[in-house]
């Protein structure tokens, strides 16, 4: 299994402005974790693709596994160092669907109704994965079971929990927190916390 160490871990300004280190991942969410039966779980990939597909949990586990070690930065000002995830790299999606040239961003849809948007430039990055293990254990319910997107270079509200759908979009549009005043991108080193 390939190990990816996020470039953010080697930055001279590793701790973004306004952040402080903590020794654990804190739990934040918009609802209680959904009850999930993995035999019924499906991951839908649709939108600006030639043919939409739906993956089972077994399909997901068959994708090439990677380990990601990356710092994790929450917009609420805490940061956790060297968080270890296992899952599949976003480039695996390109083997599953033909993404149209018209695609400019993705919207991640979660089982609890949460959504978040990410421009393709940030989505298809070297250290972005869909994770199903956290510190060598299945991801706990309150951290995104069964599948969580991990985008280390952006604030963690972009690392959507309980992922159910990946929508490729012809333009960037706001997700749950972005509609409520959070920044459309969320770069921690630029302190892009809010849009106003």
What count of other Cβ atoms lies within 10 Å of the Cβ of residue 2? 9
The tens digit of pLDDT for each residue in 102-139 reads: 999 999 999 999 999 999 999 999 999 999 999 999 99
Q: Is the pLDDT of residue 32 over 80?
A: no
Q: Would you state the pLDDT for residue 125?
A: 97
Q: What is the CATH number of the domain that holds 47?
A: 3.90.420.10
Is residue 15 included in any domain, yes or no? no
Is residue 128 included in any domain, yes or no? yes
Is residue 26 included in any domain, yes or no? no
* pLDDT band per the 50, 70, 90 thresholds, residue 33: low
Is residue 73 included in any domain, yes or no? yes
Q: Would you state the pLDDT for residue 89?
A: 98
Is residue 33 included in any domain, yes or no? no
Q: Would you state the pLDDT for residue 25?
A: 86
Single pTM value for the model? 0.95
Domain housing 81: 2-7+38-190
Split into its structural domains, the chain has a count of: 1
Residue-by-residue DSSP string for the chain: -EEEE-GGGG-TT-S-TT-EEESS-----SSPPPP--TTT-EEEEEESBSS-EEEEHHHHHHSPPEEEEEEEE-TTSEEEEEEEEEEEEGGGHHHHS-B-TT--EEEEEETTS-EEEEEHHHHT-TT-EEEEEETTEEPPGGGTTT-EEE-TTS-GGGS-SSEEEEEEESS----TTGGGTB-SS--GGGT--B--
């Amino acid at each position: 299994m390939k190990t990816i160490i996020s470039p953010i871990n080697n930055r001279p300004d590793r701790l973004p402005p306004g952040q402080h280190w903590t020794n654990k991942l804190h739990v934040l969410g918009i609802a209680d974790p959904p009850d999930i039966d993995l035999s019924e779980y499906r991951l839908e990939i649709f939108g600006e693709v030639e043919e939409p597909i739906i993956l089972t949990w077994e399909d997901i586990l068959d994708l090439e596994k990677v380990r990601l070690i990356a710092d994790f930065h929450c917009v609420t000002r805490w940061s956790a160092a060297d968080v270890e995830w296992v899952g599949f790299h976003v480039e695996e999606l390109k083997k599953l669907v033909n993404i149209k040239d018209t695609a400019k961003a993705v919207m991640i849809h979660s089982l609890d109704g949460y959504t978040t948007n990410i421009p393709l430039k940030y989505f298809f990055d070297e250290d972005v994965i869909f994770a199903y293990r956290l510190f060598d254990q299945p991801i706990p319910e309150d951290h995104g079971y069964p599948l969580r997107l991990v985008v280390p270079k952006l604030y963690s509200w972009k690392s959507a929990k309980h992922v159910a759908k990946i929508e490729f979009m012809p333009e960037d549009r706001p997700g749950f927190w972005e509609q409520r005043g959070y920044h459309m991108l969320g770069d921690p080193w630029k302190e892009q916390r809010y849009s106003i």
